[in-house]
Amino acid sequence: MSSFSLTRRSLLSAGLATPLAALARPAAAAGDDGRFHEAWFVETFLDLAEDVADATARGRRYAVVWEQRGCPYCRDMHTVHLADPGIVDYLRANFDILQLDLHGAREVTDFDGTELTEKAFAARYAVRLTPTVQFFPETRAGLATRSPAAREVARMPGLLPPRDFLAMFRFVRDRAYETTSFPDYLKAHAG
């Protein structure tokens, strides 16, 4: 008789992890715009300098998550990664996250005062795939004079496995980007 161990890995390989995660939280569903939304993501006036200042005043870091309609990886981020209470608790306690649409038409005010549509803003920052998470400094000081690429402290282009996804947020929260690369951070914190 073989022994069977109920682990997350065995659930994933059997295709059962998502259904079991759904028992712990209501099933995520795409909104009218075809994108998934989290009630705890921040709703702002889309002025990034103000958003960073607000996050800092609450002792949090600021991140922008880019998504688009019909993106299967965005769906997985919401139904797997953001269905994990450990990940959600950490993100909610430490980050203000703004969700933007890669093809959206809402007006966003950049750190230098430039007003652009979400689509033009994504192009300005060379965001081409979804999900992409941009992480910004703790303060807006000096950001207006930097190029868009130099404003970010880190970027997550694409969807990482849940453990690494959370590690990227810890990497930013701990300001580890000041002393090491993300791959080196992962190696040092493996296990």
Render pLDDT for 55-99 as a digit per residue (tens, 0 to 9).
Answer: 999 999 999 999 999 999 999 999 999 999 999 999 999 999 999
State pLDDT tens for residues 88-114: 999 999 999 999 999 999 999 999 999
Specify the pTM.
0.82
DSSP type of residue 27: P
pLDDT over threshold 70, residue 12: no
| Cα dist from 150 to 53, 102, 125, 142, 153, whole Å | 18, 20, 10, 11, 8
Domains of the chain: 25-188 (3.40.30.10)
Structure confidence at residue 35 (pLDDT): 79
Mean pLDDT computed over every residue of the chain: 87
> How distant is the alpha carbon of residue 68 from its chain centre?
13
Whether the CB-CB separation of 159 and 90 falls below 8 Å is answered with no
Q: Which residues contact 166 (CB under 8 A, 6 or more apart)?
A: 86, 87, 90
Structure confidence at residue 29 (pLDDT): 58
- Burial call 151-160: b when 16+ CB within 10 Å, e when fewer: bbbbbbeebb
pLDDT over threshold 60, residue 166: yes
